[in-house]
A and B are shown apart, each in its own frame.
Chain A
């Protein structure tokens, strides 16, 4: 009875925050959905005219806009998250060992995370430059190339180039999570596995991986959510070009909403994007819940 009362009191205390957060999250989504059902073309009168699912039909039937951008968004997300995960895991494994300067490197690897996205984009734009870029300069200097690589001007290279920037931006947070998970792996298990003659690969596969699996799944899903909706880096580095090679969904939505003035259509695109994000979010919640139940 006492506990029930305490729980009730706790709920009362968190209620204002809960209501506020719910409103702040739900209201924009509901408003966005309403706008997606309206004409909302800022070039035409009567923007609030109801048009039903017209914008959704247009989005789903226009090959050049939605589907191709969705495809690029999936490549962008998968490439960035996979790359960042592998890099973060490698570094976490390395710095989980007793190596010299471990504390310094742990701090150093966090730097990309604290740099604002706009600065990151500008920094990499300069690094990638064809005429003045440091990367091309070094590659030429070491005789690895004779002509500058067109990192952001070649449609075949631009997407990997922007993915690399996102990997650079994303890996620190994954690194931190994985390092924390690695530090929870009992040392005794390693020792017994080593005594039993397990190789390094076997120790990683059968001892380390099971222990970091849940942290890996959660941080990977979170990284997918962040990357799927990431806008700044691509927009500032390439503007979606060259020849639309890096036009992902967030840049398409932005372009349609704020340059095309088609708020209704852009809202429909954003709602479709939200559905994509929901897939990751639901997966995240399911994993999170199953882990909570397992640890309870």
Chain B
């Protein structure tokens, strides 16, 4: 049943299917065009996505053989999405996500080593331009780098300059000064709390505990990656927990409901001008600028506090977010080309401008940008917080298990439990230690 044109229905169908396959194929096409799928977790707000779109357009212009298909992934669904993709072998060619993902996915043999990019960066001086060697060494596991940093996610302590000045209090630099200031500035009559921080059963809670843990001389792991949370570091970790939770339970200078607070709840209280000190992410800066611009000049960022651990432990939690490439990607070389292009000084300026404070460069030279010079809070954060930033695995580097420990909120639990009076600090720390131990044993 051939048609006049010499092509029958079956052939037409075959051609159509072939065309459909060619259209949907994510691999390099016959013309040498490589199609990369790029999943983002942290760049999905409308303003960031719009900025990213222009950056990707620039890349495609400079690299006509590579097309980027950007797919946003919700932060809440990041694990279901990635794990389903691993199981179905449909991972994206390239992704940016949370700081512990590359090692976790490397542990199940899904990651492409990024050693060549690190070697390149070492030879061309890029590594020396990164704020902290921890930024890239945290992705080193089993002698390979499984991701490269592209963004810094900070956890500063914000304060109200006007309230401190009114009481003649200098910005605190030590634990004792901070505690005294928070107590002195707590003023229920005017609806101002001494300090606000999230203590709910959420990931953010443990980030602030982590800062105080380090400042007390404690940690979760030792430098070799062994769990010491409830052993050699126990006393320091309990000290940090008592110090932090005392603001709510003993001094009562926090909002009463912090045991259910997540990031935004604490941010909102501070941005609305209802707390003298607020623990937050860099996003507080853009929220103040957008929602309460009149308060911008009244806000400052504290020096990282010095605790019982002394000056050498003047550290704060922060997270270097990675980019990583899927091991089985048919276009992984092009994916790496994209990483090398994307992670460069000055390249992501449009992202930083789109949401000031929410995203931070990893390069020292990016401090000199007009964006920073014209924004006092960005400048303060870069000077006072960024140089002291470190994360989970301190004082060591990469351990995939830390992703599970953070993921299951194992060290948010002690804060939450002590604040609601469900456990003593010692029991909370020891129970958390037992839970963490299982992660290393399973």
Whether the pair B400, A43 counts as a contact (CB closer than 8 A) is yes
The chain B residue with its CB closest to the CB of A152 is B260
Whether the pair A148, B257 counts as a contact (CB closer than 8 A) is yes
The chain A residue with its CB closest to the CB of B274 is A131
Residues of chain A contacted by B17 (CB below 8 angstroms): none
Whether the pair B269, A242 counts as a contact (CB closer than 8 A) is no
Residues of chain B contacted by A47 (CB below 8 angstroms): 108
Q: How far is the CA of A111 from the CA of B274 in the complex (A)?
A: 35
Residues of chain B contacted by A148 (CB below 8 angstroms): 256-257
| A241 proximal to B (CB < 8 A) | yes
Residues of chain B contacted by A130 (CB below 8 angstroms): 255-257, 260
- List which A247-281 residues lie within 8 A (CB) of chain B: 255-263
Chain A interface mostly? loop
| A83 proximal to B (CB < 8 A) | no
B241 to chain A, nearest CB (A): 14
Knowing A45-B108, A130-B257, A152-B257, the reply to whether A243 touches B423 (Cβ < 8 A) is yes
Q: How far is the CA of A148 from the CA of B188 in the complex (A)?
A: 13
Whether the pair B83, A43 counts as a contact (CB closer than 8 A) is no
| A141 proximal to B (CB < 8 A) | no
Whether the pair B258, A262 counts as a contact (CB closer than 8 A) is no
Whether the pair A147, B256 counts as a contact (CB closer than 8 A) is yes
Q: How far is the CA of A62 from the CA of B325 in the complex (A)?
A: 38
Whether the pair A242, B259 counts as a contact (CB closer than 8 A) is yes
Whether the pair B83, A154 counts as a contact (CB closer than 8 A) is no
| B407 proximal to A (CB < 8 A) | yes
Residues of chain A contacted by B416 (CB below 8 angstroms): 241-243
Knowing A41-B442, A239-B201, the reply to whether A260 touches B407 (Cβ < 8 A) is yes
| B104 proximal to A (CB < 8 A) | yes
B-facing mask of A223-249, CB < 8 A → 1, else 0?
000000000000000111111100000
Whether the pair B420, A43 counts as a contact (CB closer than 8 A) is no
Q: How far is the CA of A111 from the CA of B423 in the complex (A)?
A: 41
Q: How far is the CA of A111 from the CA of B343 in the complex (A)?
A: 49
Whether the pair A44, B442 counts as a contact (CB closer than 8 A) is yes
Say which residue of A42, A129, A242 sits within 8 Å of B201 (CB atoms).
A242
Knowing A152-B257, A241-B259, A243-B417, the reply to whether A255 touches B408 (Cβ < 8 A) is yes
Knowing A239-B202, A260-B404, the reply to whether A43 touches B442 (Cβ < 8 A) is yes
- The number of residues on chain A lying at the interface, defined by a beta carbon within 8 Å of a beta carbon of chain B, is 34
| A216 proximal to B (CB < 8 A) | no
A-B contacts, CB under 8 A, total? 111
| B249 proximal to A (CB < 8 A) | no
B418 to chain A, nearest CB (A): 9
| B11 proximal to A (CB < 8 A) | no
Residues of chain A contacted by B200 (CB below 8 angstroms): 153, 238-239, 241-242
Whether the pair B408, A42 counts as a contact (CB closer than 8 A) is no
| A198 proximal to B (CB < 8 A) | no
Whether the pair B420, A242 counts as a contact (CB closer than 8 A) is yes
Knowing A243-B416, A243-B422, the reply to whether A43 touches B259 (Cβ < 8 A) is no
| A150 proximal to B (CB < 8 A) | yes
| B107 proximal to A (CB < 8 A) | yes
The chain B residue with its CB closest to the CB of A241 is B201
| A112 proximal to B (CB < 8 A) | no
Whether the pair A153, B256 counts as a contact (CB closer than 8 A) is yes
B73 to chain A, nearest CB (A): 13
- List which B81-101 residues lie within 8 A (CB) of chain A: 83, 86
| B116 proximal to A (CB < 8 A) | no
Knowing A44-B107, A241-B260, the reply to whether A259 touches B255 (Cβ < 8 A) is no
Residues of chain B contacted by A241 (CB below 8 angstroms): 200-201, 259-260, 416
| B79 proximal to A (CB < 8 A) | yes
A204 to chain B, nearest CB (A): 40
Q: How far is the CA of A130 from the CA of B274 in the complex (A)?
A: 13
| A79 proximal to B (CB < 8 A) | no
B-facing mask of A145-168, CB < 8 A → 1, else 0?
001101011110010000000000
| A132 proximal to B (CB < 8 A) | yes
Residues of chain A contacted by B353 (CB below 8 angstroms): none
Residues of chain A contacted by B261 (CB below 8 angstroms): 153
- List which B363-416 residues lie within 8 A (CB) of chain A: 400-401, 403-404, 407-409, 413, 416
B412 to chain A, nearest CB (A): 9
Q: How far is the CA of A148 from the CA of B260 in the complex (A)?
A: 14
Q: B108, B261, B269: which has the most chain A beta carbons within 10 Å?
A: B108
Knowing A41-B442, A243-B422, the reply to whether A259 touches B408 (Cβ < 8 A) is yes
| B71 proximal to A (CB < 8 A) | no
B-facing mask of A21-53, CB < 8 A → 1, else 0?
000000000000000000001111101000000
Residues of chain B contacted by A44 (CB below 8 angstroms): 107-108, 442
Say which residue of B268, B404, B408, B420 sits within 8 Å of A153 (CB atoms).
B420
Whether the pair B201, A238 counts as a contact (CB closer than 8 A) is yes
Whether the pair B104, A153 counts as a contact (CB closer than 8 A) is no
Residues of chain B contacted by A42 (CB below 8 angstroms): 83, 86, 104, 107-108
B278 to chain A, nearest CB (A): 13
| 11 contacts across the A-B interface (CB closer than 8 A) | A43-B442, A148-B256, A148-B257, A239-B200, A239-B202, A239-B262, A241-B201, A241-B416, A258-B79, A258-B407, A260-B407
Q: Spell out B's residues near A (CB within 8 Å).
A: 79-80, 83, 86, 104, 107-109, 200-202, 255-262, 265, 268-269, 274, 400-401, 403-404, 407-409, 413, 416-417, 419-420, 422-423, 439, 442
Sample of 8 more A-B contacts, CB < 8 Å, known A152-B260, A154-B259: A43-B439, A45-B109, A150-B256, A153-B420, A239-B200, A242-B200, A242-B422, A259-B407
Listed from nearest, the 8 A-B pairs whose CB atoms lie closest are A241-B201, A130-B257, A259-B407, A243-B422, A258-B79, A152-B260, A153-B259, A153-B260
